[in-house]
Chains A and B, each alone.
Chain A
């Protein structure tokens, strides 16, 4: 069984939580006691019928206000696949949550209210999915019941979206599905109200969409997390560099270079607790043993000698700002990139993106919470990186405020 991680994006009343509730409920991934809890809460609040959205609302304030505040992770499985859903809130002030949810997803479901069509918020959600380099997108045209299941409404939306999305270069495939989350049309069960639609239901698509591998198996990268040195007689000379393969394939005998030092060696063995491996690829966690004793520690990256990443202190990146305190140009932050930590000086904000119109903003360069923009920064020690579009792990970083320890930004190296 394989694993598909997806995120959902939609505006406040597009019925995102209802859709997820429906997906869980109709695919028989809910339990009686959960349903009872939802029913009794719905009743207490005076809802007409059971509100499936409550299945995904976790915090007290969310249930009371009927909104989603934070990313919630949901899990379900069918005989084909295991799914992890990052359910993210739609409000503009929660852009940061959408970015968070999308950062680990392979697929995004973008919800559109059939009555409203492609609106600013649709563009914003799509822009974020594209920024985070999500390749697979489902556009779920929801609330078809409220437009009398009209084919023409659906087709207009499809045409409008296609026109807009042609600019989004990360999308490899975009699938459109007309649904009604409230009534379950085309979510798990085929709709009997839209004979004109011949495509798959949402669940069928999620179960069968070919994700291939979103991992990069070409450029071999291994950021070292920690060094394993057992203090035991049996493993006296053992020195394992523990980490998770971030790209490519490593095999015993491969010529490697350690960055930033530039020392060269060869892989002696790939160690795991259950035995040696003949190859290691992303995203496996292993320990590499080398032929030579060289000085390697956390934050170093082992790469194949014939294919090396970028190394440098001047970084250009797109960032999303998370903190209530705005970005301080010329300010210093901590940067965490792979397993490395350094100081970073923000040199310049080149532009911000108006995420509703997708226009560049160059006259107001203050980055406040939920703003997305392009910056340059200089780090106190070199980063070993690839561009984010080549490799998500090697191209992503976070900025941390040293005074508050808050995570204030997420960044993608251009």
Chain B
């Protein structure tokens, strides 16, 4: 009797491809939310595989806070060119300029929250009824309750207490006009799975993920990179440290960790022994106990 066992990564890949194909089949107009972070890179990679040899049937949508690390944008443009994808950019700066949102002030100001308005505007403008997100349930406690097919009402809001039950592999993407879905093909992946998959598939990443020397300063227990988008307090002095980023988001809220991990193998080793969660360096999650839940209810990623 031959053995038909597959590894956990093959299982996760197969599940994600199944979910991506379901999204393509069930919705009229889908966009893949792409930040240039590793999760959205893996998702785009899987989407390419799911429809091969055809092109993936949806564009990438980048909600651009304007506060990116320049490395992220370089990588994004190269990735899009290499894989022959379509990229759409929704700009938070534009939402600010047109008065849709008001910029936060103060030294902890971040455009993180503002992204929600820009995202929802982009969804409305693009008439998307489905946005694919790279969110994983292991990331954060509110995300642990998220469905693969997550319903959003016509205000883009998530109602965590009233989610549709999701059984077997049967996804219910039916909706009324104006509502949309967020679909999370990587729901069952962990940070470690993502890293192992990146290695197995030999996917290149923004060099921000690997150790390098950078001018940083300490705030709220994490290292923030020196950047034109952050106003430092007089007490916040710059130091040069050997660091890398475990997650990549907006430069104002993504903290770095001190690290010598220069290769994927080093990173995997480091992740295996990490004592802090991946989002432990994200000040956007630390604003309160339920920061993620509150933002998701408003329509966040």
Contact = CB atoms under 8 A, between A and B. Distances in A.
Interface of A: 1-3, 31-34, 37, 41, 56-61, 63, 69-75, 77, 82, 84, 96-97, 99-100, 103-104, 213, 215, 217, 225-226, 228-232, 234-235, 238, 240, 242-244, 249, 271-274, 281-285, 298, 322, 334, 336-337, 339, 392-393, 396-398, 400, 405-407, 410
B293 A59 contact: yes
Contact of A73 (B13, B144, B193, B275): B144
A283 B293 CA distance: 33
B49 A336 contact: no
Nearest to B169: A393
Given A285-B50, A398-B172, A75 B138 contact: yes
A100 B166 contact: yes
Contacts of B15: 283, 285
Contacts, number: 173
A44 to B, nearest CB: 9
Contacts of A283: 6, 11, 14-15
A90 B242 CA distance: 48
Contacts of A235: 53-54
Interface of B: 4-8, 10-15, 17-18, 21-22, 24-25, 48-55, 137-138, 141-145, 160-161, 163-170, 172, 174-176, 187-188, 190, 192-193, 274-277, 280, 289-290, 293
30 contacts: A2-B8, A3-B8, A31-B274, A58-B145, A59-B142, A59-B293, A70-B145, A70-B160, A73-B144, A74-B138, A75-B188, A103-B167, A104-B167, A217-B4, A225-B18, A228-B53, A230-B55, A232-B53, A232-B54, A235-B53, A235-B54, A242-B51, A285-B13, A334-B174, A339-B22, A396-B168, A400-B172, A405-B176, A407-B166, A410-B168
Contacts of A393: 168-169
Nearest to A339: B25
5 closest A-B pairs by CB: A273-B52, A273-B49, A230-B54, A285-B17, A3-B8
A45 to B, nearest CB: 12
Contacts of B170: 336-337, 396-398
A126 to B, nearest CB: 19
A69 B163 CA distance: 11
Contacts of B22: 225, 339
Given A69-B161, A284-B6, A405-B174, A41 B52 contact: no
A32 B276 contact: yes
A33 B280 contact: yes
Nearest to A323: B165
A272 B49 contact: yes
Contacts of A37: 289
B161 A70 contact: yes
Given A34-B277, A73-B187, 17 more contacts: A3-B8, A31-B276, A37-B289, A59-B145, A75-B138, A104-B168, A213-B4, A213-B5, A229-B54, A231-B54, A234-B53, A244-B18, A283-B15, A285-B13, A337-B170, A393-B168, A410-B167
Contacts of B8: 1-3, 82
A57 B12 CA distance: 25
B45 to A, nearest CB: 9
A82 B6 CA distance: 13
Contacts of A406: 164
Contacts of A41: 289
Most buried by A among B51, B143, B161, B169: B169
B23 to A, nearest CB: 10
Contacts of A244: 14, 17-18, 169
Contacts of A213: 4-5
Contacts of B175: 405
B102 to A, nearest CB: 26
A296 to B, nearest CB: 14
A58 B142 contact: yes
